[in-house]
Structure 1
Amino acid sequence: MSYDLIVIGSGPGGYVAAIRASQLGLKTAIVEKESLGGICLNWGCIPTKALLKSAQVFEYINHAADYGITINGEGAVNFDAVVKRSRGVADGMSKGVQFLMKKNKIDVIMGFGKLKGKGVVEVKAEDGKTQDISAKHIILATGGRSRELPNLKQDGKKIIGYRQAMALPKQPKSLVVVGSGAIGIEFAYFYNAIGTQVTVVEFLPNVVPLEDEEVSKQLERSLKKQGINIMTNSTVESVDTSGDLCKVSVKTAKGTEVLEAEIVLSAVGIATNIEGIGLEEVGVKTDKGKVLVDEFYRTNVEGVYAIGDIVMGQALAHVASAEGITCVEKIAGHHPEPINYNNIPGCTYCSPEVASVGYTEKAAKEAGYEIKVGKFPFSASGKASAAGAKDGFVKLIFDAKYGEFLGAHMIGFNVTEMIAECVVARKLETTGMEIIKSVHPHPTMSEAIMEAAAAAYGEVIHI
């Protein structure tokens, strides 16, 4: 079987690349070892959002009286039904990708794909049978998996990764989450909201350590208020799983503390899936677990490309999709603009939500900018008050000299939907004054962006 393009991996990088290739007239095949849609659709972005929605609904029920609503009896979590709904959402999305493959006349070949030689991919099916397919261009989009620490080996039962955390056989009474990036914090919020006792252990001084420091500190306050135990500047040294409960030895500034929990969730980042896919055989260069590529995702081997979690850049679904489109458009002879990795939004879907793009205040100063910073608290927002969601703020950072929009950092209700305005504004090289003079609708959460810009320039009205 011969193609113009073969894509190995059908996550949000791979399947999007395949569709764009088909749109551009390339005869395309996609190789997938498990489920169309990859981790994101099946075990990541989508099913976690379904779990988080269930937690949010449960919180609404528990706080209905705050909105003047009386509910007779108590709400209760049916953990099996919550997980079942999440899996159903994931299955529906995966079926949607199957439909898109048929619609775009993309051949789907199930099995483990491996580079075999110039322009050749060997596909090994579940039954062990192999077949060779060929193409002038091959894109590697094999993604990542939960990273394991040497002292925190996952057994899938008591010490688990994100995948098991989405479909546990029963709700744990207690949970220790190791790592406070987006994955760790989202699961900590979900399980705490449905009644599990949760402790988060973070090696660095702040939770969500990649975010602006003020956002991190606000999130820690909010999570503690919800009942989550937060331990920063702390390291898990060992876990004893021999008893009914895990005994987690945590080294803190004050000494070693032993925590007990039914389950330990390791959320310390991801490892790339680059083993066994033929990189060494064909001579593709890697460094520290990442495939080396240029700005259009070409490896050092002609005709072989790589995108998504296995290359440098943020390990995010929307980044992989953008990389796939850029890569394919270059292959097809177009002239795509290289991706600006400093204008990639990051989102964490706990409650309150966190969203950001561009420079943090610290990074802007380290880059040599003289800056103007504006903050607008949601406690001063009419829409936030009406929604009962006054936690958090919008913080914008501008270059003092030219008004360049350097960064946006938000924590609050629904801010993951608001951050796109800032991404587009930065792409269009909008200045602070242009944001102030762009009339925002009232009452909305999004007008906090305009107010924060005004605060940076001493023109804020509502605080």
Structure 2
Amino acid sequence: MAETRSTQLLVIGAGPGGYPAALHAADRGWAVTLVDEDNRLGGVCLNRGCIPSKALLHIARLLHEVRALAEQGVRFEGPQIDLERLRSYVQKQVVGRLNSGIAQLTKARGVQVLTGHATFLDPHTVRVRPSVGEELTLRFEHCILAPGSLPVVPSAWQVDPQRIWDSTAALQLSCLPPRLLVIGGGYIGLEIGTVYAALGSQVTVVEALDGLLPLADRDLVAPLEKRLRREFAAIYVNTRVASVQAAEEGIAVTLEGRDVPERLLFDHVLVAVGRRPNTAHLNLDKAGVQVDERGYIRVDAQRRTSVPHIYAVGDAAGEPGLAHKATAEARVAVEALLGEPAAWQPRAIPAVVFTDPEIAWAGLTEKQAQAEGIPHEVLKFPWTASGRAVTLDRTEGLTKLLVEPDSKRILGVGMVGVGVGDMIAEGVLAIEMGAVARDLLETIHPHPTLSETLMECAELAYGASVHIARPKRS
């Protein structure tokens, strides 16, 4: 007979949605059990996604900066890449340190952590199958689902498990392929491509749509694309991958598009064409939890599923698949469970692409405003007029605001440039607070900083900024 236990709240998934939900509930006095298949807490984001990729992108940026110093009169010898040591640094000193921190937090809060795969038996019961040891049955009063998502690799491209990578495999740094193909010009493909290019691989990117990062405004993508075309071997847009075949000398790829080589040979291929919700093996039907045609769990404004005592947050509860969205949803779900007046109603969810330069945006994009016919005024401040950008020799950046024409209320914020991922939160706060451009321009920003570009961009709503002349309107 399998062991049977009970808990007040069951949380399935220990990623950026699951473990914060467990901690919030434990802080409120609930008895919480957290179940995850991985014995390292943190989910995909910490173990196989956000954190390792950002550690590697930091190193890639340092490599770029060192190389750029030669033009400023400071020269270093070429870098020697110790791949094993680099891999160990990322996994032990970065990922491992954060794993340990989460484990300590759950222990201090009294959260019971179980390692294993959970499947529903009925609306109040799951079976937990551990990788080692005997399975157990767990009864619960309430449940928060946070199973996350998985990378998508079309079956037709799965021709060689050693050479065809998804994002998880690519971030393991098993080797530095001389020739790497990245299928997909979204943020995952470009971030990982940036890492491998900096470490010495010749990177080629293929994107089926007419531009990189299709959700971002073109004026924000332009500086990044210009830089990547120098660093990558090639970028092909409006191009389809017709076939992927294993060959003795590598992976042969056939392309279809205008002015593209018909056939290319690569040592490895990274498939970065999207992710899918990790809901297929939970037996949600036995719990009565409804999913849509794509496998996303249907939730209401409180993140409640079709079963009143079961909630869902994170990637599996709908797009966008962002860690910070999952963490914010976790708080809403726990507060709703406690009967507090909580609802998921964000005005802006920031998006950041951690390439070099970075791209960040929040709220209404110019592309969206045009498509939906929303009245707006676009304000742009080029970083060529930023003293701080000049000192960094990174003047390719741009800061822009979308505001209501009459009230000047801030509708959207977009930026491209070094470090904009750390600047976008000011724009998110402005949108959430219903701020107008004058609120930004009257907020004294420190000088010289890149954050000043938000202040000076806001000045354009009322005539001209100090450093960018603009004719006043009659």
Return the TM-score normalized by structure 2: 0.94
Q: Is 243-252 or 36-45 further displaced after alignment?
A: 243-252
Tell me if structure 1 keeps the 8 A contact 2:408–2:461: no
Counterpart code for 1:440:
H
1:76 deviation in Å? 2.1
Tell me if structure 2 keeps the 8 A contact 1:112–1:123: yes
1:75 aligns with 2:75: no
**Runs of 4+ off more than 3 Å:** none
Tell me if structure 2 keeps the 8 A contact 1:152–1:238: yes
> 1:289 aligns to what?
295
Tell me if structure 1 keeps the 8 A contact 2:212–2:221: yes
Q: Deviations over 1:326-368 (max 9, x none)?
A: 001110121124232x400001111001111011112123333
Q: Deviations over 1:347-391 (max 9, x none)?
A: 111100111101111212333322211111112211111112112
1:43 aligns with 2:48: yes
Aligned-residue sequence identity (percent) comes to 34
Distance 1:402 1:155 in 2: 57
1:312 aligns with 2:334: no
Distance 1:76 1:458 in 2: 52
Q: Deviations over 1:389-421 (max 9, x none)?
A: 112211111110221211111110000000000
Tell me if structure 2 keeps the 8 A contact 1:5–1:135: yes
Tell me if structure 1 keeps the 8 A contact 2:179–2:201: yes
Tell me if structure 2 keeps the 8 A contact 1:12–1:320: yes
1:171 aligns with 2:191: no
> 1:85 aligns to what?
89
Tell me if structure 2 keeps the 8 A contact 1:43–1:166: yes
1:66 alignment partner, SS class: helix
1:33 aligns with 2:37: yes
2:161 alignment partner, SS class: coil
Tell me if structure 1 keeps the 8 A contact 2:123–2:286: no
Gaps of 5+ in 2: 469-474
Query: 1:350 pairs with 349, 355, 372, which one?
Result: 355
1:151 alignment partner, SS class: helix
Distance 1:60 1:366 in 2: 39
Distance 2:233 2:191 in 1: 12
1:20 alignment partner, SS class: helix
Q: Deviations over 1:406-461 (max 9, x none)?
A: 11111100000000000011111101122122221111001111112223443222
> 1:338 aligns to what?
344
1:254 deviation in Å? 4.1
Q: Deviations over 1:37-85 (max 9, x none)?
A: 11111011111111111212222322232344233x3222222222221
Q: 1:224 to 1:254 in 2, by over 3 A?
A: closer
> 1:4 aligns to what?
8
Q: Describe how 1:363-382 pairs up with structure 2 within 5 A.
A: 363-382=368-387
Tell me if structure 2 keeps the 8 A contact 1:140–1:307: yes
Q: Describe how 1:201-220 pairs up with structure 2 within 5 A.
A: 201-220=206-225
1:129 deviation in Å? 2.0
Q: Describe how 1:264-303 pairs up with structure 2 within 5 A.
A: 264-287=269-292, 288-303=294-309
Query: 1:142 pairs with 126, 135, 147, which one?
Result: 147
2:423 alignment partner, SS class: helix
1:176 alignment partner, SS class: strand
> What number of residue pairs does the alignment pair up?
461
Distance 2:218 2:375 in 1: 18
Q: Deviations over 1:203-256 (max 9, x none)?
A: 111101111121123321121133442111111111111222211111113476
Aligned CA RMSD, in angstroms, stands at 1.6
Counterpart code for 1:365:
Q
Q: 1:154 to 1:395 in 2, by over 3 A?
A: farther
Distance 1:256 1:196 in 2: 19
> 1:329 aligns to what?
335
2:262 alignment partner, SS class: strand
Query: 2:71 pairs with 66, 72, 80, which one?
Result: 66
Distance 2:457 2:228 in 1: 24
Q: Is 44-53 or 61-70 further displaced after alignment?
A: 61-70
1:101 aligns with 2:110: no
Q: Is 375-384 or 53-62 further displaced after alignment?
A: 53-62
